[in-house]
Amino acid sequence: MEGDVPELTMEDLDLKNGANLIVENEAGEILAVREKTRRQAWILPGGEVERGEKPGHAAQSETEEETGLITDVADFKLVAILVQRPKGLVLLYATKHYKGEIHVPAHSNEVQEARFMSIEEIMDLAGQDKFRIGYVRMVLRYMRCKHGVDPMPLEGALRDEVDYPADLDFTNYRSKIHSV
């Protein structure tokens, strides 16, 4: 019948949701991990939310697995809910609370390195195509929310460009804008 809603298949319902965690240290640096792939790009810790798993727990367990740092979901703030393609959501959390030292397990198939980076270093790596753009957008969304430019939690799409100040000093946010 014309105008009917199409019937959904199981494949349509198989969403791939993800959860990522921004861990910020006392110096304002953000934890990043370098993929163990051919590209070896930098990203934020996190991964797929398994069926029946809470997104915060996924972000917590993936961060611990990839970096060795211990976090507590009770300390997380939900920064953004972002639609990703082809289907699903990414939930972005942030925390300043963690325990332990960075340690990437030798047997890791996903991560070869983890460390804290300044925002400037992340942007420099992004300019060299060494920090994946979706994750750069997540970092900038976090910064915009942290500095009150955007509401928290933010709802948007991962592919949406993010405006940020050229000097990364959010006090004069509107003075000189770039987009990523």
Mean predicted confidence (pLDDT) in 132-148? 95
Does 84 reside within a domain? Answer: yes
Task: Say if 6 falls within a structural domain.
Answer: no
Rounded CA-CA distance 69/96 in Å is: 12
Residue 3 counted as domain residue: no
On whether residue 45 sits in a domain, the answer given is yes
Sign of CA dihedral 50, 130, 177, 116: positive
Question: What average pLDDT does range 118-133 have in this prediction?
Answer: 94
CA–CA separation, 141 and 9 (whole Å): 34
8 A C-beta contact, residue 108 and residue 132: no
Cβ-based neighbours of 6, under 8 Å, separated by 6 or more: none
> What integer pLDDT is reported at residue 175 of this predicted model?
66
Task: Please report, as a single letter, which amino acid is at residue 147.
Answer: H
Q: What is the CATH number of the domain that holds 115?
A: 3.90.79.10
Please check whether residue 1 lies inside any domain of the structure.
no
What is the pTM (predicted TM-score) of this model? Answer: 0.88
Interatomic CA distance for residues 11 and 77, integer angstroms: 32
Percent of the chain with pLDDT over 90: 73
| pLDDT exceeds 90 at position 178 | no
**What is the pLDDT, as a whole number, of residue 174?**
66
Any domain includes 172: yes
The mean of the pLDDT values for the chain is 89
> 10 vs 149, which has greater pLDDT?
149
% the chain with pLDDT above 70: 89
Express each pLDDT in 46-103 by its tens digit. 999 998 999 999 999 999 999 999 999 999 999 999 998 777 999 999 999 999 999 9
Please check whether residue 65 lies inside any domain of the structure: yes
Q: Is 106 domain-assigned?
A: yes
Q: Which structural domain, as residue segments, surrounds residue 148?
A: 11-179
- In the three-class reduction of DSSP (H, G, I as helix; E, B as strand; rest coil), residue 171 is classed as helix
Number of domains making up the chain? 1
pLDDT classification of 5: cutoffs 50, 70, 90: very low
